[in-house]
């Protein structure tokens, strides 16, 4: 099977940390170029626009979009008009109304589209989903605590309206909706730094379609150990995802999980979608974020500083 030639649009931290190493290790994909003005160190064709890259690399067949979420429609439309299949880093867009257009654009163009949620591919998620089959979930408690200074150093775009702590928090919501299906937001408190347009912390209350009660605590100001856990109390015992879903414990005992990486599985899934000409554009985690902003009570906290 020949590797599919793909380009990365936007060579920032997530592209360098995850996408580029994953593509380098893949036998299903071949990095054919990048769209970036800051990629002189990469041994690959680099151009300022996707159209220019496609002209230079005619065999280009797909694109993975890793730019910040604002303004994604123009990039996706350009890719589709060039006949490319499209994969999009989370969150898919700046607004729900924008993201909802992507599937129809891809369908009209006859191309595959994958709006990704990388945490759904964490090693412990599929085994947990299998264990939950036939069991009743009573309560879910989420703690997603990390330090923005570590994971997004100096990246001011993270404080654009609608992002903030929900950049990592949406990862937890993506796992939650993968496990529970439909989830409703019933209450939210959002804590905004005095000098920023998005929250640095959030407390959420949700309810699953079968009445499961869900609580979530998100923080972008976690000092010391970083924490990404989800604990599910069921009629058959307690399950806990740790390390963002990378580890799983059932009733306190570790469970074997598959080898491989989140992004490796994402790109395998994208290859399957391309092979079948299909679209995967689930927006359930994104809808929960917008619901949190709609019903959330706003609290102001101390101003944020990158140097604290």
pLDDT digits (tens, 9 = 90+) for 276-308: 999 999 999 999 999 999 999 999 999 999 998
pLDDT of residue 42: 86
Domain residue extents for the chain:
4-115, 123-256+290-301
The answer regarding whether domain 4-115 maps to CATH 3.40.50.150 reads no
Query: DSSP label at 12?
Result: S
Average per-residue pLDDT for the chain: 96
d(CA 52, CA 48): 7
pLDDT tens for each residue of 84-110? 999 999 999 999 999 999 999 999 999
> Is residue 90 flagged as an active site residue?
yes
Tell which residue, 65, 41, 70, has the closest CA to residue 53: 65
Tell which residue, 66, 48, 57, has the closest CA to residue 84: 57
Domain topology for 123-256+290-301: Dihydrodipicolinate Reductase; domain 2 (3.30.360)
Flag whether the pTM goes above 0.85: yes
pLDDT band at residue 186 using 50, 70 and 90 as cut-offs: very high
Tell which residue, 69, 64, 72, has the closest CA to residue 20: 64
The predicted model gives 214-231 an average pLDDT of 97
pLDDT of residue 41: 85
pLDDT tens for each residue of 59-89? 999 999 999 898 899 999 999 999 999 999 9
Residue 1: pLDDT above 80?
A: no
pLDDT band at residue 238 using 50, 70 and 90 as cut-offs: very high
The predicted model gives 19-26 an average pLDDT of 96
The predicted model gives 225-243 an average pLDDT of 97
**Token code pair at residue 16:** 């360098």
pLDDT of residue 294: 97
d(CA 269, CA 116): 10
Radius of gyration of the chain (CA): 20
pLDDT tens for each residue of 135-148? 999 999 999 999 99
pLDDT of residue 87: 98
Q: In the chain, where do the E strands start and end? A: 4-9, 29-35, 46-47, 62-65, 85-88, 113-115, 137-145, 183-193, 201-208, 213-219, 227-234, 237-242, 247-250, 253-254, 279-280, 297-301
pLDDT tens for each residue of 199-215? 999 999 999 999 999 99
pLDDT tens for each residue of 35-55? 998 777 888 988 999 999 999
% of the chain beyond a pLDDT of 70: 100
Residue 190: pLDDT above 90?
A: yes
Catalytic residue among 54, 90, 196, 276: 90
Residue 2: pLDDT above 90?
A: no
The predicted model gives 236-255 an average pLDDT of 97
pLDDT of residue 39: 76
């Amino acid at each position: 099977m020949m590797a599919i030639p793909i380009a990365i649009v936007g060579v920032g931290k997530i592209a360098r940390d995850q996408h580029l190493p994953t593509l380098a290790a893949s036998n299903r994909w071949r990095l054919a170029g990048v769209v970036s003005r800051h990629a002189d160190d990469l041994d690959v064709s680099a151009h300022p626009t996707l159209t220019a890259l496609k002209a230079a690399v005619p065999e280009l067949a797909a694109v993975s979009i890793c730019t910040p979420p604002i303004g994604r429609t123009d990039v996706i439309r350009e890719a589709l008009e060039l006949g490319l299949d499209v994969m999009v880093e989370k969150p898919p867009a700046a607004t729900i109304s924008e993201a909802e257009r992507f599937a129809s654009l891809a369908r009209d163009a006859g191309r595959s589209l994958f709006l990704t949620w990388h945490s759904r591919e964490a090693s412990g998620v599929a085994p947990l989903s299998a264990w939950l089959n036939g069991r009743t979930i009573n309560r879910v408690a989420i703690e997603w605590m990390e330090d923005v200074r570590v994971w997004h150093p100096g990246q001011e775009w993270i404080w654009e309206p609608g992002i903030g702590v929900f950049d990592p928090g949406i990862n937890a919501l993506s796992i939650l909706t993968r496990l529970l299906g439909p989830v409703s937001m019933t209450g939210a408190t959002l804590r905004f730094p005095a000098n920023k347009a998005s929250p640095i912390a959030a407390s959420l209350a949700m309810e699953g379609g079968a009445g499961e009660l869900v609580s979530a605590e998100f923080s972008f100001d976690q000092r010391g150990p970083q924490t990404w856990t989800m604990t599910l109390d069921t009629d058959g015992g307690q399950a806990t995802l740790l390390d963002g879903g990378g580890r799983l414990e059932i009733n306190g005992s570790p469970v074997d999980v598959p080898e491989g990486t989140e992004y490796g599985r994402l790109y395998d899934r994208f290859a399957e979608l391309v092979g079948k000409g299909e679209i995967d554009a689930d927006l359930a985690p994104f809808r929960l974020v917008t619901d949190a902003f709609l019903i959330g009570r706003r609290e102001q906290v101390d101003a944020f500083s990158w140097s604290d």
